[in-house]
């Protein structure tokens, strides 16, 4: 049941991605509603899939990497739909839906279960959920940053093309960037703390400096500096956009670290 | 009944002719009255703007109507002979006239395609015609339809979405940097006309604060009064630039007033908040090197003009979409015009049979004076139900065939079957005739359907 739903979800996200990319390149707005519709249906199927999976697994089992990424992708779409509902910026979908699709596809490409930590406590679920929510925040910041950089480049070079007319105003993107980091950062902080507690219970040590933990700490420090820079010395606009793009690379590397560590644990 | 338009526009007549023909608002009522006093002119509306003077009318006969309206236009300005006028006039009737009205309303026929004023002008012209009661069923419906078509075009195409003036292009660009202009501050350096116009647009968009500086202090103070802003001494305007989100420069200076380092300083002071600079001066007053400053966005007059040119082309593309919409809408309107011909027939039919019923019931009840009131009601009811059942199918068929190509044939048949047109005396028996005349003494059948139309029209 769940796996069929995941397949349908993936197909729908793929369709939405294609539709959103065509929307991005064409003058007409006609495709925005269609793309949005496909995304919304995909989101519902995805929700059913996640619920089915959650119902099937017992509370004592530990979250697989697949589930974590699937949850991540689901949250991306949720955030997109909420922002779209509030601000009516369908062009956001042209960036966020492909991101959700990619994370879902890479999740499916991984071996069925990359084990995380040994199940000891429910804190593990909390740790995974919080870290992933933090990653969602940074992902939205990343998307806002990319859009900012594109729009900035178009304005500077005075190329008023289709993309220019579809992308929102710079200050909106900068605000979206800021808000997503401001929300993502505390979530990541809590994610790291709960992760450390889990590690203490399962391995008897808060920190072992494995790739996952190292990545998480580096990411945390990076975003800490980014936020601090914005609040104190005016790291906003273009610089903030660049930084959040780099920061998201840290997030990806950390996730890769999780996979590596998983394999390490197995071997 | 035919819809007709006769007029001239920027496409057919030079300003010298247009300005002579234009009817000032104060004289519109008189002109409309004169228009409708012509024989065969049933309804009229006069659209007079700086780009067009057009008479929209409903006439009984196309050729006669056309001539009358030409006469009317020639009489509107006596210094204009009809020889001078006629070559500039165009005229359309029927679906083409309706299409023309729809195109005008949707601003497809405008000098600047998609400009919004024309719709307001059309509404005003319609209001005046309504106030002087010179429009009727047909014009009311068609003009209202034109207004709704124009709104549809506006919402469903991007015809009016983009700026087609340099000053407005500045506003459009500002909105790609600042999503909301409400809390923004604009600084006006120098007071070129275009800059003032752009400032006015920005204020209309909700810009909160306006700061003005000019070389002549008094001039800045005067302008500040006008715009509800604050004057800034010209000597320190560069220091105050950091407080401005939008800087509009247009002075007569022959050198760069604002250098890259000035802008860099302002951006630093602003904590890298983006800054939008518009240089509308020729020669330029802002050093083009500013483009290398991060978070500062500089546009000069050529950039704005280029943007306007691009927008114009986009509008023309959107106009094609609008044209297709208009074709659809005209078909709907033409359909309605056709149905109008059936409606009076149905009304006439109803009146005709009611008349016969009334006469027969009166005749019979005159002989049956002994009947109780209940019985009399029964007799009346019987007559009503027979009559209604007899004409029911005819009514239904007429309504159903309204839009078919057979529509006129059915209307014709119904008119003949039920003697709805004035019958020639030879076709009637003496008895029929006396009965007919007895029942119809106050009005003839021929007039009846039209009198219905009249009531609706006047």
C-beta atoms of A172 and B179 within 8 A: yes
Q: What is the pLDDT of residues A75-100, one digit of tens each?
A: 999 999 999 999 888 999 999 999 99
Helix (H), strand (E) counts: chain B: 17, 10
CB-based contact B289:B138 (threshold 8 Å): no
Q: Choose among B234, B233, B273, B225: nearest CA to B253.
A: B234
Is the pLDDT at A233 greater than 50? The verdict is yes
Cα(A244)–Cα(A178) distance, integer angstroms: 9
The answer to whether B172 contacts chain A (CB < 8 Å) is no
Q: What are phi and psi of B7, to 5 degrees?
A: 180, -170
| Domain residue ranges of chain B, discontinuous segments joined by + | 2-156, 166-294, 333-457
Contact A155, B176 (CB under 8 A): yes
Calculate the dihedral angle through the C-alpha atoms of A144, A150, A153, A154, rounding to the nearest 10 degrees. -120
Percent of chain A with pLDDT over 70: 90
Nearest CA in chain A to B302: A158
For the stretch B214-240, pLDDT in tens is: 988 888 898 888 888 899 999 889 899
- Which residues between 312 and 331 in chain B have a beta carbon less than 8 angstroms from any beta carbon of chain A? 314, 317
User: Which pair of tokens denotes residue A23?
Assistant: 């929307």
pLDDT tens digits, one per residue of A24-39: 988 778 889 999 999 9
Query: Tokens 């697994």 identify what position?
Result: A57
Put simply, whether A150 touches B (Cβ < 8 Å) is: no
Over residues A37-62, the mean pLDDT reads 84
Mean pLDDT of A174-187: 94
Is B36 among the residues known to form the active site? no
Tell me which chain B residue has its CA closest to the CA of residue A160.
B307
Length, in residues, of chain B: 458
**Nearest CA among B291, B341, B309 for reference residue B450:** B341
DSSP β-bridge partners for residue B61: none
Gyration radius of chain B's alpha carbons: 33
Among residues B50, B332, B368, B409, the one annotated as catalytic is B50
> How many angstroms separate the CA of residue B183 from the nearest CA in chain A?
12
Instruction: Please tell me the distance from the alpha carbon of residue A44 to that of residue B175, in angstroms, as a whole number.
Output: 35
Other Cβ atoms less than 10 A from the Cβ of B257: the count is 20
Q: Does A160 touch chain B (CB under 8 A)?
A: yes
Q: What does the DSSP 8-state code read for residue B286? A: B
pLDDT exceeds cutoff 90 at B102? yes
pTM above 0.90, yes or no: no
Tokens (6 digits) for B90: 């165009």
A177: which chain B residues are within 8 Å (Cβ-Cβ)? none
B2-156 with B166-294: one CATH topology?
Answer: no
Say what the pLDDT of residue B260 is. 94
Q: Do B178 and A164 touch (CB under 8 A)?
A: no
**How high is the pLDDT of residue B280?**
87
Residues of B in contact with A158 (CB under 8 A): 299, 303, 306
**Chain-chain contact of A172 with B314 (C-beta, under 8 angstroms):** no
Pairing label, strands B275-279, B296-300 = parallel
How many Å apart are CA A190 and CA A220, to the nearest integer? 11
Please write the tens of the pLDDT for every residue from A128-163: 889 889 999 999 999 999 999 999 999 999 988 889
Q: Tell me the domain boundaries of chain A.
A: 2-266
Taking each helix axis from N to C terminus, what angle separates A123-157 and A170-203, rounded to the nearest 10 degrees?
160
Strand partners, B8: B53
Helix (H, G, I), strand (E, B) or coil at B402: coil
Q: What is the mean pLDDT of chain B?
A: 84
Taking Cα atoms as reference points, which of B402, B401, B447, B455 lies closest to residue B420? B447
Q: Spelled out in words, what is the top-level CATH class assigned to the domain B2-156?
A: alpha beta
Q: Which two tokens stand for residue A236?
A: 């906003």
Superfamily for B166-294?
A: NAD(P)-binding Rossmann-like Domain (3.40.50.720)
């Amino acid at each position: 049941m769940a796996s069929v739903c995941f397949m349908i979800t993936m197909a729908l996200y793929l369709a939405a991605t294609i539709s959103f990319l065509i929307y991005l390149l064409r003058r007409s707005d006609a495709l925005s509603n269609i793309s949005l519709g496909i995304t919304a249906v995909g989101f519902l199927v995805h929700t059913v899939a996640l619920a089915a999976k959650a119902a099937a697994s017992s509370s004592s089992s530990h979250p697989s990497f697949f589930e974590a990424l699937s949850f991540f992708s689901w949250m991306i779409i949720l955030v997109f739909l909420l922002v779209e509902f509030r601000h009516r910026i369908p062009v956001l979908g042209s960036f966020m839906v492909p991101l959700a699709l990619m994370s879902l596809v890479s999740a499916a490409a991984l071996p069925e279960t990359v084990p995380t930590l040994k199940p000891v406590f429910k804190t593990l679920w909390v740790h995974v959920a919080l870290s992933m929510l933090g990653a969602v925040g940074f992902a939205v910041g990343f998307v806002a940053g990319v859009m900012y950089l594109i729009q900035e480049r178009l304005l500077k070079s005075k190329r008023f093309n289709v993309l220019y007319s579809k992308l929102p105003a710079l200050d909106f993107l900068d605000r979206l960037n800021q808000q997503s980091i401001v929300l993502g950062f505390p979530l990541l902080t809590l994610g790291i703390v709960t992760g450390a507690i889990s590690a203490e219970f399962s391995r008897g040590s808060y920190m072992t400096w494995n790739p996952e933990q190292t990545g998480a700490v580096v990411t945390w420090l990076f975003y800490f500096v980014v936020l601090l820079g914005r609040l104190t010395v005016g790291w906003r606009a273009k610089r903030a956009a660049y930084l959040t793009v780099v920061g998201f690379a840290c997030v990806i590397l950390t996730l890769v670290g999780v996979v590596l560590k998983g394999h390490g644990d197995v071997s | 009944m035919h819809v007709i338009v006769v007029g001239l526009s920027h496409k057919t007549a030079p300003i010298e002719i247009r300005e002579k023909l234009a009817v000032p608002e104060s004289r519109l009522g008189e002109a409309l009255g004169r228009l409708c006093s012509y024989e065969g002119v049933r309804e009229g509306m006069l659209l007079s703007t700086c780009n067009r003077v057009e008479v929209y009318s409903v006439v009984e006969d196309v050729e006669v109507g056309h001539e009358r309206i030409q006469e009317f236009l020639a009489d509107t300005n006596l210094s204009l002979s009809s020889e001078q006028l006629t070559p500039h006039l165009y005229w359309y009737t029927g679906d083409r006239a309706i299409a023309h009205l729809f195109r005008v309303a949707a601003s497809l026929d405008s000098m600047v395609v998609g400009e919004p004023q024309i719709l307001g002008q059309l509404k005003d012209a319609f209001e005046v015609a309504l106030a002087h009661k010179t429009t009727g069923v047909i014009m009311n419906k068609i003009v209202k339809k034109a207004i709704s078509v124009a709104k549809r075009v506006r919402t469903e195409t991007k015809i009016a979405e983009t700026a087609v003036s340099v000053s407005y292009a500045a506003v459009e660009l500002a909105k790609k940097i600042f999503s909301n202009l409400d809390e923004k501050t604009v600084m006006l350096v120098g007071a070129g006309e275009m800059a003032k116009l752009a400032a006015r647009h920005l204020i209309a968009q909700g810009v909160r604060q306006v700061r003005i500086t000019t070389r002549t202090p008094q001039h800045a103070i005067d302008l500040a009064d006008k715009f509800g802003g604050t004057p800034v001494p010209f000597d320190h305007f560069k220091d105050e630039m950091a407080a401005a989100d939008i800087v509009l420069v247009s002075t007569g200076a022959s050198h760069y007033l604002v250098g890259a380092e000035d802008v860099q300083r302002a951006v630093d002071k602003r904590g890298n908040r983006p800054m939008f600079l518009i240089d509308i001066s020729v020669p330029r007053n802002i050093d083009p090197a500013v483009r290398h400053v991060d978070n500062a966005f500089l546009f000069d007059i050529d950039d704005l003009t280029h943007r306007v040119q691009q927008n114009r082309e986009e509008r023309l593309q959107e106009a094609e979409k609008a044209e297709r919409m208009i074709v659809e809408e005209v078909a709907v309107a033409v359909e309605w015009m056709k149905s109008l011909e059936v409606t009076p027939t149905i009304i006439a039919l109803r009146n005709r049979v009611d008349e016969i019923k009334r006469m027969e019931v009166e005749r019979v009840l005159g002989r049956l004076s002994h009947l109780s009131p209940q019985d009399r009601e029964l007799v009346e009811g019987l007559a009503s139900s027979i009559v209604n059942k007899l004409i029911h199918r005819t009514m239904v068929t007429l309504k159903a065939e309204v839009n078919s190509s057979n529509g006129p044939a059915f209307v014709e048949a119904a008119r003949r079957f039920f003697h709805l047109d004035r019958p020639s005396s030879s076709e009637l028996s003496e008895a029929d005739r006396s009965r007919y005349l007895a029942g119809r003494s106050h009005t003839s059948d021929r007039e009846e359907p039209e009198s219905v139309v009249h009531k609706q029209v006047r």
